[in-house]
A and B are shown apart, each in its own frame.
Chain A
């Protein structure tokens, strides 16, 4: 008798919250080293580049360099945090600790688990963004309350980066594999998306490349919100981030099912 093939689209249930909660409980136990990594390093970048470069560069796009770079650091830090969580931490739970295998002995399905991992990666990205936002506003680098509107955008973006990382995790045979993704995707996005200098300084084709990837679109929305302006054409930017996120979660779920349910 033929069996219906597994549905192509993921069908997570609300049970995913239990998986998210599990990760949150572990994070709470390791909160000091975890926060130091997700928060300490970006703050160092902000201060070093902001003060060090700031006096050389002067104003950029009509704002102090430190103000310019604060929004860049928030976005790139959310990207890094979510990517790390979706790769190193999720891979550990999948392949090293058999955590997911244990979950599959309960009513949870892989669809729940993969979705929960992406939401958890988004949560960690958001936590790091919030802490940096607090420091930035204490340093007077944030214009007004519009900056709070950046947070949901960052949460969505971090979900996208977490889901993209889970695609890589699904294909990884060891931790070394993640270096490809960092070198070929994360680092280029960090350098070319307008984190440290305006996108417009780059040659046209590089701008095109940057706009084909999600991080530049995150900055196009977040930077105005943090510097007291409304973003232009926020909808197309949001659409690109969402499309990457939806595509990545579908692909990650499909690949992880194929890897584990065989």
Chain B
């Protein structure tokens, strides 16, 4: 049985098809990433998955139960880390944990032990009595994660969990997520950080205009959708050189005053650019290149 199964999911707001026929199947224990530009339908898909948005068409099953009919039973076995902070500012760290546990109907010594363990895991044990507004952004995220694990969830859904965090805090959170993955928990993540998705996820779906436009392991997405090398060159005259020297299979793309050349054979072009006094840099293509190729370079708001 799949942990999550979505068939032909649809949602329309004011005539706009925000989610337009999404199919997804996520296996138990999988770390799954959902990527897409702003407004692509990621959050709406997640909300329907969690029973927070009525479904206009299609089917959603979480842990074998249909949504939204099974929402109570599903959310008992789910951990949710929302995009926006929903910690309770009227309570301290430990009170937040206890109150949240009570929402699941959990209380007593075993819950206290679990709270101790979770606060230990996210390095917040010495902040037990602190008020929420005294915590840093990274601490709040860690507390939100600890809170989401109070019910020992089988599936954890994280909506942009590392947005706004510094690199240290982000790496700390990654370690937590890897540990969860190792313990057999199914994880669903949305993020705007491609290296994060590439680093963590077993499989990634790229969603745009409410449809899934690619879905595979990160390495396979790169192998299938884009040339293996990216040559970057800037400065005046680079464009003219490229116009003359670009190979038949090469693709060039201008971002501000820098050119990106996607190619399978970078050597010849690199030599030509160097010979003409340019300083090209060469790197391997990554998930971000795939993402930009599939969803385009224009700004989204």
Contact = CB atoms under 8 A, between A and B. Distances in A.
Interface stretch (A52-60, A64-72, A98-106, A128-136): A98-106
Nearest to A110: B52
A18 interface: yes
Given A3-B57, A102-B88, 7 more contacts: A3-B54, A25-B95, A26-B91, A102-B87, A106-B75, A106-B103, A262-B13
A6 interface: yes
B102 to A, nearest CB: 5
A245 B88 CA distance: 29
B72 A107 contact: yes
A26 B84 contact: no
Contacts of A262: 13, 53-54
Most buried by B among A2, A3, A15, A108: A3
A74 B155 CA distance: 50
Contacts of B80: 105
Given A3-B56, A106-B75, A101 B86 contact: yes
Contacts, number: 76
Interface residues of B, number: 37
A156 B40 CA distance: 47
B58 interface: yes
A261 B54 contact: yes
B82 A101 contact: yes
Contact of B99 (A3, A4, A25, A107): A25
Given A3-B56, A105-B50, A97 B84 contact: no
Interface string B193-226: 0000000000000000000000000000000000
Given A106-B100, A107-B76, A261-B54, A98 B59 contact: no
A15 B105 contact: yes
B108 to A, nearest CB: 14
B102 A104 contact: no
A144 to B, nearest CB: 41
Interface of A: 1-4, 6, 13, 15, 18-19, 21-22, 25-26, 29, 97-99, 101-109, 261-262
Interface string B89-101: 1110001000110
Contact of A97 (B71, B73, B89): B89
A80 B85 CA distance: 31
Contacts of B52: 104, 261
A261 B53 contact: yes
Majority SS of interface residues in chain A? loop
Nearest to A100: B86
A212 B142 CA distance: 53
A171 to B, nearest CB: 20
Most chain A beta-carbon contacts within 10 A, residue among B82, B84, B90, B151: B90
Nearest to A2: B57
B148 interface: yes
A102 B86 contact: yes
B55 interface: yes
A1 B84 CA distance: 32
A22 B54 CA distance: 27
Contact of B148 (A22, A105, A109): A105
B53 A29 contact: no
8 contacts: A1-B8, A98-B85, A99-B86, A105-B148, A107-B73, A107-B103, A109-B72, A261-B53
A29 B95 CA distance: 12
A107 to B, nearest CB: 5
A204 B80 CA distance: 58
A22 B13 CA distance: 34
Nearest to B102: A18
B86 A98 contact: yes
A206 B103 CA distance: 46
A29 B85 contact: no
B28 to A, nearest CB: 21
A107 B56 CA distance: 22
B88 A99 contact: yes
A262 B43 CA distance: 12
A64 to B, nearest CB: 43
A107 B86 contact: no
A150 B117 CA distance: 49
B131 to A, nearest CB: 11
A99 B103 CA distance: 12
Contact of A29 (B54, B90, B148): B90
Given A1-B59, A15-B105, A18-B105, A107 B75 contact: yes
B86 A21 contact: no
A112 to B, nearest CB: 9
Given A1-B57, A1-B58, A3-B56, A101 B100 contact: no
